[in-house]
Structure 1
């Protein structure tokens, strides 16, 4: 297949944002994406799905590329982020371990179940045709599924793409410019108190992304607004989602504030390296660490043994700051709004949460729709929300 012709058709259909993890079956399509489009190299396939999802919310039709072994890594966000939020992605997944084709033993089982796994996740799929004209029609069909808010994946056999040489890549080294360590006793405010401070700092240019579980539920209770998104499932994916969204909003005067938890960051710490490398200046990453999985009964995490500020700094965050109390948190946010640059703020909080804490009463796909409207600066539709947009930012 003429890889460049296929890529040009994808561009014509609006797919110019790619992210993924390499596979030998997909290498020439990946080379094309790196050469001709915007490509984000993810640390793992689940992160790639989250990055592409954030980019889609920000207005870019997105493509994810992965080996079928990595499809298993992507199951969590595909079923608990993309499905409930109705975020459609175009995917290319290789068919390692194709039945009847000699391959490595680790690919045998996944090769037998790849298409069934896609069907179980209710993802439309097709084998990408070797015939160029038929493949071009398949791309049009896939685009129509995306228009209906349904993800569509192509299963790619070996030797599908013809050669595309990878141009020389200029690697940019990201340097940390400010790192502060613990210098005094921690205040240990509640998560609710910390979220109240964070929420009070938002303005009409701010998007707030709250990680899975209690964090999202408490932010919703403090103030539900069209510039909030509350993650459900897909634990560990919020900062990757924020990266994809921030990359699309760099020139749109929108700030992306990612509110994370220790269990979430620990689950996908490779995302910190990706965030640092692509370093969107309009992204603020806040970690509220209570050394516990509060949503599931308060079991301890291993965060007490991790120096997150140093890790973020070593991954290339421009600033990585330890805040000891609510006043420092507010000050650091004010400084970030003035200076920008990818920044990591860390604060220890107390365990626990208020009894009878409610849950968002708005469906995830409705949250997606109103956030997309906010990003487009659309006014709320009449009667859709209880408050008018200007009341949120009075």
Structure 2
């Protein structure tokens, strides 16, 4: 017995779940088709990125749904445990049960089929098997919505054949291309990362949120200016531009995602996702010191990577190498005057100030005041 994926989607929509993000799975294809046809859907390249994009949507005031195969649950563990849990950013999830013991499934799904429940329990995520009875599904959705309202994530495990067919409507694919590329053309000033963050905050407009990546970048933003419009990432390394994408797509806020070389290298696939959806109100700034500063100064492999060319090749409308703080300031001002999806790269020297502090405000408190800032605008 199957339930209609359209009936499920309509029930979710009646409760405000209209933003979806995920990575495809054949068990979930009908719900994905419904989401693409009827809602706002972001096709992610990685399940962890999808969770972070949904977190950004929630920060912008949107209930969100993440869709994934259970093998992808392994990619999502970092944001689920260190982003959603720490910041109390709830997400409604649907995860397929590939490798169910009674199925003759592919060998790579065998282990995940036996541990999917345990993984959700270990991450303290509430879950249920999605029923194949629509009356019971409505009760399940009500319970899930109650969890979301209580700022707790909730996942449905979906077995094979539960969801009935939804035909995917013809899609018009985006064809975004780089229009302005500026590569390295002179010596770098090599300011400190702290000075870059000072320049960003000094140049920001009132309708701007600033998101700082994991580690000392977030700590330095807090040191420069603790503000309601800031988010200091903890954990979930590499997810800052995904959060920025979720906010930018679901609000009118100017959104500046401040990234690091080690973090971006960890989740480079989101460059392509950002470029495909191409929100004009997203500015992605990469600060490259060629090291993992927060863990003792170990090197990254960024010296072999041309980030500016990569961002351009994925379709960022502007991809710009800046050599100095003054050039950075002028480029940010230019983005405010003519907002398009923009990638800015700046190389800095290593190190930070002595006795760098840590935020004294808890992650969920940072989240609450940021959401209030966005709501008020």
Q: Could you tell me the TM-score, scaled by structure 1's length? A: 0.94
Where 2:163 maps in the other structure, the secondary structure is coil
Confirm or deny that 1:197 pairs with 2:199: yes
Where 2:315 maps in the other structure, the secondary structure is coil
Once the two structures are superposed, the pairs formed by residues 241-280 of structure 1 within 5 Å of their partners are: 241-249=243-251, 252=252, 254-280=253-279
Aligned match of 1:224:
226
Aligned match of 1:282:
281
Equivalents in 1 of 2:205, 2:255: separation in Å? 11
Once the two structures are superposed, the pairs formed by residues 291-370 of structure 1 within 5 Å of their partners are: 291-370=290-369
* Structure 2 spans left out of the alignment, 5+ residues: none
Alpha-carbon distance, 1:100 to partner:
2.3
Equivalents in 2 of 1:376, 1:38: separation in Å? 20
Equivalents in 2 of 1:7, 1:271: separation in Å? 26
Alpha-carbon distance, 1:2 to partner:
1.1
Aligned match of 1:18:
20
Aligned match of 1:390:
none
Once the two structures are superposed, the pairs formed by residues 374-385 of structure 1 within 5 Å of their partners are: 374-377=373-376
User: How many residues in Structure 1 have an aligned counterpart in Structure 2?
Assistant: 375
Aligned match of 2:11:
9
Find 1:118's aligned residue among 116, 120, 132.
Answer: 120
Equivalents in 1 of 2:245, 2:259: separation in Å? 13
Find 1:28's aligned residue among 27, 30, 34.
Answer: 30
Aligned match of 2:47:
45
Where 1:243 maps in the other structure, the secondary structure is helix
Alpha-carbon distance, 1:54 to partner:
0.1
Alpha-carbon distance, 1:81 to partner:
0.2
Aligned match of 1:62:
64
Equivalents in 1 of 2:353, 2:19: separation in Å? 41
Alpha-carbon distance, 1:204 to partner:
1.6
Aligned match of 1:131:
133
Where 1:285 maps in the other structure, the secondary structure is strand
* Structure 1 spans left out of the alignment, 5+ residues: 379-394
Confirm or deny that 1:154 pairs with 2:156: yes
Alpha-carbon distance, 1:201 to partner:
1.0
Question: Could you list the per-position Cα deviations for residues 155-185 of structure 1 after superposition, in whole angstroms to 9, with x for gaps in the alignment?
Answer: 0000011111101110010011100011100
Alpha-carbon distance, 1:355 to partner:
2.1
Alpha-carbon distance, 1:137 to partner:
0.9
Equivalents in 1 of 2:105, 2:177: separation in Å? 41
Alpha-carbon distance, 1:203 to partner:
2.5
Equivalents in 2 of 1:100, 1:160: separation in Å? 15
Aligned match of 2:101:
99
Where 1:138 maps in the other structure, the secondary structure is helix
Equivalents in 1 of 2:308, 2:91: separation in Å? 33
Alpha-carbon distance, 1:358 to partner:
0.6
Equivalents in 2 of 1:137, 1:128: separation in Å? 11
Aligned match of 1:392:
none
Find 1:145's aligned residue among 123, 144, 147.
Answer: 147
Equivalents in 2 of 1:47, 1:191: separation in Å? 25
Alpha-carbon distance, 1:128 to partner:
0.2
Equivalents in 1 of 2:353, 2:103: separation in Å? 57
Equivalents in 2 of 1:31, 1:358: separation in Å? 47
Q: Could you tell me the TM-score, scaled by structure 2's length? A: 0.99
Aligned match of 2:75:
73
Runs of 4+ in 1 over 6 A off after TM superposition: none
Equivalents in 1 of 2:353, 2:261: separation in Å? 19
Alpha-carbon distance, 1:353 to partner:
1.1
Question: Could you list the per-position Cα deviations for residues 68-94 of structure 1 after superposition, in whole angstroms to 9, with x for gaps in the alignment?
Answer: 000000000000000010000000000
